[in-house]
């Protein structure tokens, strides 16, 4: 698409795709309940990024991922890891995965015991 500018100059505009690609709309309303709760929370908090709204956003995105309405992503990349009010086991699972990835190259028995002992409460 070209646009005209004063003096007869033309600039070409090249559209860029969204970062995470396109995703299907929720035509069947599979996640509508989660969406409505999230939008109500945002309205109540005057569109502030409140922790309780972030938990609802995570539930909504999880519903979309579970119903193949969006690509599965880890919560860290979505900025939704370790939200206040969530169960501690999810955070412990995330820490365990990070420690396991860090020591993945060294498969000595000592590393396995370090990973398991660091993640227990």
Q: Indicate whether 103 pLDDT > 60.
A: no
pLDDT in tens, 75-100: 888 888 877 666 544 444 454 455 44
Identify whether residues 77 and 93 lie together within a single domain. Answer: no
For residues 78 and 44, state if they share a domain: yes
Task: Please compute the mean of the pLDDT values over residues 64-85 and round it to a whole number.
Answer: 86
pTM: 0.55
Single out the residue of 36, 34, 41 nearest to residue 58, CA to CA. Answer: 34
Both 74 and 100 in one domain: the answer is no
What is the chain's length? 121
80, 54 contact by CB (below 8 A): yes
d(CA 57, CA 50): 11
- Domain count for the chain, please give it: 2
Q: Is 53 found in the same domain as 97?
A: no
Is pLDDT at 28 greater than 80 in this prediction? yes
Domain that holds residue 71: 25-83
Distance, C-alpha 49 to centroid of its chain: 15
- CB of 96 closer than 8 Å to CB of 107: no
Query: Among 94, 112, 95, which residue's Cα sits nearest to residue 103?
Result: 112
Give the pLDDT score at 24: 81
The overall average pLDDT reported for the chain is: 73
């Amino acid at each position: 698409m070209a646009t005209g500018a004063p003096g007869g100059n033309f600039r070409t505009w090249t559209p860029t795709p969204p970062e995470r690609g396109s995703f299907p709309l929720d035509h069947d309303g599979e996640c509508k309940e989660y969406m409505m709760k999230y939008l109500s929370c945002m309205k109540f908090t005057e569109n502030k990024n409140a922790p309780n709204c972030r938990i609802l956003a995570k539930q909504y995105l999880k519903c979309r991922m579970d119903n193949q309405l969006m690509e599965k992503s880890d919560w860290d990349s979505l900025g939704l890891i370790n939200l206040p009010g969530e169960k501690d086991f999810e955070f412990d699972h995330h820490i365990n995965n990070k420690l396991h990835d860090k020591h993945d190259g060294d498969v000595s028995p000592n590393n396995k015991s370090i990973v398991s002992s660091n993640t227990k409460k």
